[in-house]
Amino acid sequence: MNEDVKLESIDCPVCRKKFDVEYVEKDDSAVIFKDSDFMESYKGVNPELYAIYVCPKCFYAAFREDFLNIPWVVADELNKRKEERKTIVKNADFSKKRNLYLALLSYEVAVACYKLRKNTSEKIADIMMKAAWLARDMNSWQLEKDFLNKALVYYVKAFENERNTRMNQTTSLYIIGEINRRLGNYEEAKKYLSWAFSNKIGEEDKIIKTLAHAQYSIVKEILEKKRKPEPADQIEILRKIDFLSPLSEEELRELSNNLEWKLYPKGKSIIKQDEGGSSFFIIKEGEVEVIITTKGKSKVIATLKNNDYFGEMSLLTGKKRIATVKTIKETEVFSLKKDKFASILLNNPSIANKISRILVEREEKLGIEIKEMESKSWEILSMLLQIKNFFSIEE
């Protein structure tokens, strides 16, 4: 017998039969790698193979620390259900050396036993997790996925409904988030991982919180890549911008290739009043509020949603931002910088004239009174000169 594997004689609390069981002290095992979901790889014998004690007579199974600690009512019920467990183990001989097959069978029969106890969702989740790790060792992703899904169900159940669990709140939030990440449930993963690293309970859990933040960053990047629109969608969005209507299809396509996509969280200021700027923004999805501050008092003057835009005056004239724009909820935006727009204006200066007229007319509709045609013409000319000066357009 391997020197890492020890032998213990024990009396089964269900059938009262004495048997010998092998076990490995986890604390004595040399860990060579620890995965982000706490799976450990060992230099010698894998102690997870021996995590469950199984009586070879009645097939009662439990973690070593729980095996003898069983209420008599549960023991009596387990004794009555011996045939059910016998069906699970399929004539397996648990007196033999433990291998992957016997380990997985031990997990399965242990789950059946724990289901008869109260408040054991976390125990069952731990077993499912260990089964997923064994499947990973076998390079069986489908089997690992199945067990991860089952582990997730029981970890969530334990977190929501049970007290006095082995894991504290931060660790529970983290493992639920990490399993969701591995399963590709990125929105759920993002939610739980963010709760984990921002959790105010358990300030001492710095390692878990650091790990949660790292995994959150991975998930956020994946979601951003998945949500980034196709070029054809970007052109369609640009078509809806009134001051860009003078542009040709080719020019719109050129602009779309230069759009930058970004996701802003709730409560984030995208631009701030009185700051310099030379870019404008289109809301792909989300909602923002436009805030103007005068003499120390702030006022929301508008709410912008999908396909609305802001910051165009800074893009076209270089003026300072006249308002702060802040997200009301998570918001996706496209941004376009001056240098990306400059080549189009420089190649086709007449577009500046058309854009100037559109901007002045839009300001008029928004309530900026330009009563006389002559005054309106001066406004258009002023706007045109500002654009030409900003982009250094020669006559």
The string of pLDDT tens digits covering residues 287-321 is 999 898 988 899 898 898 998 888 877 777 777 88
Residue 55 CB partners (closer than 8 Å, separation 6+): 12, 14, 15, 17, 19, 61, 94
**CA–CA dist 211, 193 (Å, integer):** 9
- Domains of the chain by range and CATH? 6-120 (no CATH), 231-391 (2.60.120.10)
Tell me how far CA of residue 385 lies from CA of 234, 316, 320, 356, 392, in angstroms: 29, 11, 17, 9, 10
pLDDT at residue 86 in the model: 92
Each of the 395 residues of the chain gets a pLDDT tens digit; together they read: 567 889 999 999 999 999 999 999 888 888 999 999 999 999 888 999 999 999 999 999 999 999 999 999 999 999 999 999 999 998 888 888 888 899 999 999 999 999 999 889 999 999 999 999 999 998 999 999 999 999 999 999 999 998 888 899 999 999 999 999 999 999 999 999 999 998 877 666 888 999 999 999 999 888 877 777 777 778 888 888 877 777 788 888 888 888 888 888 889 999 998 888 878 888 988 999 989 898 889 989 889 899 888 887 777 777 788 889 999 998 989 888 877 777 777 777 766 676 666 666 655 554 444 344 344 454 545 554 565 565 565 65
- Is the pTM for the entire model greater than 0.95? no
Residue 10's H or E segment, with its range, is: strand 6-11
Supply the DSSP symbol for 162: -
Chain-centroid distance, C-alpha 280 = 28
362 token code pair: 């839009």
pLDDT attached to residue 163: 83
Give every CB contact of residue 2 below 8 A, 6+ residues apart in sequence.
44, 45
Which pLDDT score, from 0 to 100, does residue 322 have?
Answer: 80
DSSP letters for 44-59? SS-GGGGSEEE-TTT-
Determine the Cα–Cα distance for residues 91 and 57; give it in Å rounded to an integer. 11
**Lookup: tokens for 62:** 């439990």
